[in-house]
Structure 1
Amino acid sequence: MVETSAEARWVRNAIRLLEADANRSADTHLHVFPLPATWGIDLYLKDESVHPTGSLKHRLARSLILYGLVNGRIGPDTGLVEASSGSTAVSEAYFARMLGLPFTAVMPKSTSEEKIAMIEFYGGRCHYVDRPAEMYDEAARLASDCGGHYLDQFSDAERATDWRGNNNIAESVFTQLSAERYPVPTWIVVGAGTGGTSATFGRYVRYRRHDTRIAVVDPENSAFFGGWQTGAADYATGMPSRIEGIGRPRVEPSFVPGVIDEMLQIPDAGSLAAIRLLRSRTRHWAGGSTGTNLYGAFQLIARMITDGQQGSVVTLICDGGERYADTYYNDDWVASKGLDLQPHLDRMEQFLATGAWAD
C-alpha cells in the first residue's frame, strides 16, 4: 500500500470541508414574488442571502478555493490573496479560516469600515491601495512575494464553477422548479460582477438544451453593457459602480458574452427603488444588486404580457439589506448621490397594477 504524503492528506481533508459546507448550505430558498394571477406568469427569487456569509459570493469563494486545491495551487501553508473590497473577500476569508490559511484582501483605501470589519471578523487581513485600478497588480505581487495563491475572481470565476452540475446555482434552480407549473423558466435574470454567474447559467441551459434565455442587467457606469453591445473585450468606462457586487469599470476576463441572450442597462435610482418596493411587498430586505435584477425582471415580464406569453422568470436575491442600512436605505445618503427614487417607484407600481411598463 502506497502511503500518501501529509500535504495530499491535507488537500483531501480541505476538499471534504468545502463539500461539507456545500451540503449544509447548498439549497437556498426559492421565493415567489406576488404577481396578478391573471397574467399567468410566475416570478421567483433565489435567496442567496441565506448562505453562511450572507451573499451569492459564498458559492464563488468556495469554487475559487476548490479550483485552487484541485489544481495543486493551494496547500497547507499557502497564503490566499484576493483583489476585492466586497462580499467575495468576506466569503473567501470565511473559507480561509475554515482551512487554517492566511487571507489578505487588497482593496482601495476608500473601502467602508463595515466591509473591512466583516473581512477581519473572519480572520482576513486588509491591504490598501490608493486607486481601485491598482488592486489587480498589487494582489498578484503580494501572492508572488509570499509564495501564496492569487484567487483572481475576475479571471477565474467562469472557469472555477462547474457549470455542468455538481450542485451549482443553475442546477439548484432547475431542481427547485421541477414541480412548478412552468418548470423551465422563460428568462433567468442576473447581474454581472465577475461574469461567473451569468456564464454558469448560460452554459448550463445550453448544455441541458433548455429554451430558457439569459438576461444580464447592468448598472450605470459599468462596462459590461457596452462591451456586450460592441463586442469589444477591452471596453472600459473607467468609472466605478454605485451598486455593490455588480458592474465594473472594465470588461473582466470571466465575462462570457456569447452565452447571454440580452442585456439591460438599469438606472441606479431604479435599482434602489426596486429594493424598497421588494421590502414593502414581501418583507425581504435585500441589497442594491437585487434591485437591479428585479427592475430588469419587471421589464421582461411586461414584454411577455405584451407578447401574450406565459411562463416563469427567475432572478436572485444577491445579499441582505442590513449591510446597506446606512446607504441604500438611508434617504439622506440617496439624496446626497442626487438620486430620485419616486419616478421609478411609480413606474413599478403602475406595472404591477396594469402589466404595462412605461419607458
Structure 2
Amino acid sequence: MTGRDGSGTDGTTTPTDGRATATADVDRSDPAYRAWLKEAVRKVQADANRSADTHLLLFPLPERWGIDLYLKDESTHPTGSLKHRLARSLFLYGLCNGWIRPGAPVIEASSGSTAVSEAYFAKLIGVPFIAVMPRTTSAEKCRLIEFHGGRCHFVDDSRKLYEESAELAARTGGHYMDQFTYAERATDWRGNNNIAESIYQQLRLERYPVPAWIVATAGTGGTSATIGRYVHYMQYDTRICVPDPENSCFFDGWTRHDAQACSERGSRIEGIGRPRMEPSFVPGAIDRMMKVPDAASVAAVRALERAIGRKAGGSTGTGLWSALKIVAEMVAEGRKGSVVTLLCDPGDRYLDKYYSDTWLAGQGLDIAPYTETLDRFLENGVWPD
C-alpha cells in the first residue's frame, strides 16, 4: 500500500520509476551510516584496483585471410564472468544513491552469473544477498552464489523474475538491484576503464587497432550499450553486432522497432536473451543483430575448445558464431581487419548442459550441421548458404 505522500505503510517510498526502496530505517546524516557508506564504497573500488585487466585472446584464422579475431576473456575476473564489471558498477551506483544500507538484503533477478558476482560484492561489504533465479539455472552457478554467502530463491516461470524480486525486496525491507533497468546507466560509458576502453587499449599495437566489428551478446543490454556509446563518443568506425538466441525478443524488437516485443519462453542460453525488451537494451547503440539457433551456439562453444583449448559458456558460443559469420562476409568481400567478441564466462559452469550430449538430446538440439558449417568455413573460408 502507498499513502498520499508516496510513502508506503511498510516504511517504503515509491520512486517515480515504480521501484520500491526501503528508506525509513536509515538516518543518512548519522555519522555511523556515513562511515559505513565510505568504507563500503572504498572496498568496492579497491576490488577494481586489485584486478588486472582481462586478456584479449587470438582465435586462430588462416593468415591468408588478413583478418584477426579476438575474444575478450571476461572469465578471468574474480567471480569468473563478464558480470563482475556490471556487479561492481551496480553496487557503486546503489551505494552512492543511498539505496544499499547496512544490514538490509540486496535482491537481484538473475539467471546466474550476475548473481554470483553480486553475491561476492554483497559479502565484501557485509550485506545479505538473495538471488531470484529460474529453477533451471545450472547447479554450479547456484553453488557459487552460496559459496559467496548468497541465497538462491527459485521461480518456475522466468517471466516472473522481476515481479518476485520486487515483492521480495518489499517484504524484507531490502533493495532490488534491478540490473535490467540500471545496467546501461550504472557504467561510465565514456571510459573509466570500461570494457570498451579496455578493448581499444589492448588493440593499439595490433595490425588492425580499430576493429571493424565488436560482437556483444545481450542479457541486460548494458554491455552493448556501453560499447556502442563509447564507439560513438570516440568517433571510431567500428560497428556493433548483437547476436540473439532462441526464445528471446531482442531481435524482433530491434528489427520491428517494437518496444513491446516479448517471448513466451525463456532462453536456453544462460545469461543472454530476455522475454521482454529490457530498459537497459539500447537499440540506437547497435548497428546489426543476428538470430542464432541454440544448437549453433553450442557447436561454436565446442569449436572454441578445439581451437584454443578453453571451455566457455553458451553465450560465448552465440557471440562466436556471429563473429565467425561476420569474418566469412569479410573474406567473401576481400576485406581485411579485426573482429572482437567476448568470452563471457567459463564452461565448467555448464558441464551438465552445453557439454553434455544427454542434455542436448533432451532439448532436441542437433549440433552436427552447425559443427560441419564451422569446420568447413575454417578450412576453406566459405560459409555455406
Q: TM-score range by the shorter chain?
A: over 0.9
Q: Which residue of the partner structure matches residue 304 of structure 1?
A: 330
Q: Quote the offset at 1:272 in angstroms.
A: 0.4
Structure 2 length as normaliser, TM-score?
0.90
Aligned counterpart in structure 2 of residue 161 of structure 1, from 187, 206, 220: 187
The percentage of aligned residue pairs carrying the same residue is: 62
Instruction: Please give the per-residue CA displacement for 1:152-197, whole angstroms capped at 9, x wherever unaligned.
Output: 0111111111101111111111111111111110000010000000
Change (3 A) 1:339 1:110: closer
Q: Quote the offset at 1:110 in angstroms.
A: 4.1
Separation in structure 2 between the aligned mates of residue 261 and residue 322 of structure 1, nearest angstrom? 32
Q: Which residue of the partner structure matches residue 35 of structure 1?
A: 61
Separation in structure 1 between the aligned mates of residue 138 and residue 306 of structure 2, nearest angstrom? 27
2:316 pairs with 1:290: yes
Secondary structure of the residue aligned to 1:191 is coil
Q: Which residue of the partner structure matches residue 80 of structure 2?
A: 54
Structure 1 length as normaliser, TM-score?
0.96
Separation in structure 2 between the aligned mates of residue 65 and residue 22 of structure 1, nearest angstrom? 12
- 1:85-100 equivalent positions in 2, closer than 5 A: 85-100=111-126
- Aligned CA-pair RMSD: 1.4
Contact 1:85 1:116 in 2 (8 A): no
Separation in structure 2 between the aligned mates of residue 130 and residue 284 of structure 1, nearest angstrom? 32
Q: Which residue of the partner structure matches residue 152 of structure 1?
A: 178
Per mean C-alpha deviation after superposition, the further-off stretch among 142-151 and 60-69 is 142-151
Q: Quote the offset at 1:306 in angstroms.
A: 1.8
Letter in 2 for 1:181: R
Instruction: Please give the per-residue CA displacement for 1:15-50, whole angstroms capped at 9, x wherever unaligned.
Output: 221122112224100000111111111101100111
Q: Quote the offset at 1:81 in angstroms.
A: 0.6
Q: Quote the offset at 1:6 in angstroms.
A: 2.3
2:148 pairs with 1:122: yes
Per mean C-alpha deviation after superposition, the further-off stretch among 255-264 and 340-349 is 340-349
Q: Which residue of the partner structure matches residue 33 of structure 2?
A: 7
Q: Which residue of the partner structure matches residue 212 of structure 1?
A: 238
Q: Which residue of the partner structure matches residue 107 of structure 2?
A: 81
Change (3 A) 1:153 1:43: same
Q: Which residue of the partner structure matches residue 333 of structure 1?
A: 359
* Dislocated runs of 4+, deviation >6 Å: none
Aligned counterpart in structure 1 of residue 49 of structure 2, from 23, 27, 45: 23
Separation in structure 2 between the aligned mates of residue 346 and residue 112 of structure 1, nearest angstrom? 28
Separation in structure 1 between the aligned mates of residue 330 and residue 134 of structure 2, nearest angstrom? 42
Letter in 2 for 1:334: L
Contact 1:49 1:319 in 2 (8 A): yes
Separation in structure 2 between the aligned mates of residue 183 and residue 249 of structure 1, nearest angstrom? 36
Instruction: Please give the per-residue CA displacement for 1:227-254, whole angstroms capped at 9, x wherever unaligned.
Output: 0000111100121111111111111111
Q: Which residue of the partner structure matches residue 195 of structure 1?
A: 221
Change (3 A) 1:108 1:279: closer
Q: Quote the offset at 1:351 in angstroms.
A: 1.1
Separation in structure 1 between the aligned mates of residue 348 and residue 167 of structure 2, nearest angstrom? 34
2:383 pairs with 1:357: yes
The number of aligned residues is 357
Letter in 1 for 2:261: Y
Q: Quote the offset at 1:356 in angstroms.
A: 1.5
